[in-house]
Structure 1
Amino acid sequence: MTTSKSDAEIPALQALSADIDAEVRHRFAVIDGLRMHWAEAGSGEPVILLHGWPQHWWEWRHLIGPLSRHYRVICPDLRGLGWSEGDGTGYDFDRMALDLRDLLDHLGLGQVRIVGRDWGLVVGYRTVLDRPGRVDRFVAIAGVHPWTGQRPSLPVFLRPWHIYLLAAAGGSAALQERMVRRSLRAWRHRGAFDEREAEIYAERMRRPAARAATVAFNRAVLVREVPHFLRHSRTMRTTVPILHLNGGDDPLSDGVPACFGDHAGNMRLERIPDCGHFVSEEQPGWLVERVSAFFR
């Protein structure tokens, strides 16, 4: 009897799940020709947790337990990251949102609640704008919103300088290793990742698929997505309830304006006290309470 690649990876995933106060199940399926991994726990109405860079599903370990007592919590690894496959293509926001749609279809889910941080934030916003019928409520964390360009500020464009560097020279494995380690250190304000935690993320980022994903995503942001939103944001509207949360001490969220009122009437922008970019690991208790209240 042969063992599939997915089966071989289950022990490592289960070892990570030992840190979580819930029974976590790990699943794999072929989505758009690529093998996608997700972790899930609990039962009931679905909540989708979408991680950021340079991380994977495990960034939600402090939220999975509390939320799974009331919801079916589903944490996909985005294309190319974590335990999901990638081939260096498909990193425009439209395709990544289609990955989410295809996963929801595979699971037989209609309308869901979504929480997205960093890369997960852009997937969530793209889904809200393109397929609002699939989103009951959306919590966006640690990033800009689609209407940011209507009131631009220098920090919004200058603070995420890593985007320019990774888009231009991210093919270097040594550079990416340094940037992964630096981001985990410099973007966190409250507490710090210990060596084990940092290595859990860095190890998966050494995969060729993750390095290719990093370059392709950042190039797509500069070449396609920023120009697209600058041109079209004034015509983008949604009635989906949105809670946008940025850490008060997040260097990547400095200067994000509250200029969405005419476009997203059910949206709120809030700053999280004593928190940097990694909200679910810096302020997990605060985040669970705020997300739970918003979902109710």
Structure 2
Amino acid sequence: MELDRRAHIRGRVICPDIRGLGWSEGSGGGYTFERLARDLVELMDRLGVHRARVIGRDWGLVVGYRACLNWPERFGQFVALAGVHPWTVDGVRPAVFTRPWHVYTLAALGRSRSLQATLAARSLRAWRHHGRFSDAEAAVYLARMRTPGAHAATIDFNRNVVLHEIPHFARHYRMIRLRVPTLHLNGASDPLSEGVPNSYRDYADDMRLELIPECGHFVPEEQPQWLADRLLTFLD
């Protein structure tokens, strides 16, 4: 992939893992959106970064939204990739709740390691539209999912989403306003895209929702050049 030469001089890039996922060790709790967003801000404080532009994909998207809603003065711009926005319940379509059925399954039965592994492998296949993950690429994802920290984090995270976060936003979305300029990008063939409404327009100062052609849920892997070009344009 050839990136615009401007990309490497734009600024410092920091790529943290979400608590309990990737190469982080995780913890015995703290998997609410509020706590995960606070992790991000506390990391910025530790690194001496007062203000940043943030990009979050999938669960990183919800962390980014919560951080921008809670601390808008800390973020200049936000790019959300592959997920729903906080006002989805306003104008929601059934597909938003039926397509990610694995979230509910993991919340209820996630203690089964074999179930977690099976659903993770299935998601890598079913939620990608353009291209396929090689066996080696899939092995990197799945190896991290099999660690004790990721296993426990997956249980806590999905249960928190089902039991607390969805009910919370369903009750309070009218009182939430986004002040940070935001670009929300979903793959046109992402299973979630069909049900994400345009209701955000009533609750955000400067936000747009765009669909990426020939793309499923794994935006950076499926359309890297398209994404790089769009990010450079938006973040310029």
Answering whether residue 195 of structure 2 is matched by residue 255 of structure 1, we say: yes
Question: Counterparts of 1:228 and 1:87 in 2: how far apart (Å)?
Answer: 23
Deviations 1:216-275 (A, max 9, x none): 111111111001101111011122100000100001332100011121020000000000
Q: Which residue pairs with 2:216 in the alignment?
A: 276
Q: Which among 172, 178, 182 is matched to residue 112 of structure 2?
A: 172
Amino acid at match of 1:94: E
1:136-175 equivalent positions in 2, closer than 5 A: 136-175=76-115
Q: 1:180: how far off? A: 1.0
Amino acid at match of 1:196: A
SS in 2 for 1:71: coil
1:1-296 equivalent positions in 2, closer than 5 A: 67-296=7-236
Structure 1 unmatched runs, 5+: 1-20, 22-61
Amino acid at match of 1:272: I
SS in 2 for 1:261: helix
Question: Counterparts of 2:64 and 2:143 in 1: how far apart (Å)?
Answer: 26
> Contact between 1:124 and 1:140, CA under 8 Å: does it hold in 2?
yes
Question: Counterparts of 1:208 and 1:117 in 2: how far apart (Å)?
Answer: 23
Question: Counterparts of 2:32 and 2:233 in 1: how far apart (Å)?
Answer: 32
Question: Counterparts of 1:269 and 1:165 in 2: how far apart (Å)?
Answer: 29
SS in 1 for 2:211: strand
Q: 1:66: how far off? A: 7.4
Q: 1:152: how far off? A: 1.5
Question: Counterparts of 2:81 and 2:140 in 1: how far apart (Å)?
Answer: 22
Question: Counterparts of 1:139 and 1:231 in 2: how far apart (Å)?
Answer: 25
SS in 2 for 1:254: helix
> Contact between 2:69 and 2:179, CA under 8 Å: does it hold in 1?
no
Q: 1:83: how far off? A: 1.3
Amino acid at match of 2:147: R
Whose relative contact order is higher, 1 or 2, with alpha carbons under 8 Å and at least 6 apart?
2
> Contact between 1:88 and 1:216, CA under 8 Å: does it hold in 2?
no
Deviations 1:87-119 (A, max 9, x none): 241111000001101100010001100110001
Question: Counterparts of 1:214 and 1:66 in 2: how far apart (Å)?
Answer: 37
Question: Counterparts of 1:100 and 1:144 in 2: how far apart (Å)?
Answer: 20
SS in 2 for 1:138: strand
> Contact between 2:31 and 2:153, CA under 8 Å: does it hold in 1?
yes
The alignment-based identity, stated in percent, is 57
Question: Counterparts of 1:105 and 1:235 in 2: how far apart (Å)?
Answer: 28
> Contact between 1:142 and 1:279, CA under 8 Å: does it hold in 2?
yes
Question: Counterparts of 2:214 and 2:23 in 1: how far apart (Å)?
Answer: 31
> Contact between 1:181 and 1:202, CA under 8 Å: does it hold in 2?
yes
Question: Counterparts of 1:288 and 1:66 in 2: how far apart (Å)?
Answer: 11
For normalisation by structure 2, the TM-score amounts to 0.96
Q: Could you say which structure has the higher helix fraction?
A: 2
Question: Counterparts of 1:215 and 1:148 in 2: how far apart (Å)?
Answer: 24
Structure 2 unmatched runs, 5+: none
CA 261–239 in structure 1, closer or farther in 2 if over 3 Å, else same: same
SS in 2 for 1:150: coil
> Contact between 2:96 and 2:192, CA under 8 Å: does it hold in 1?
yes
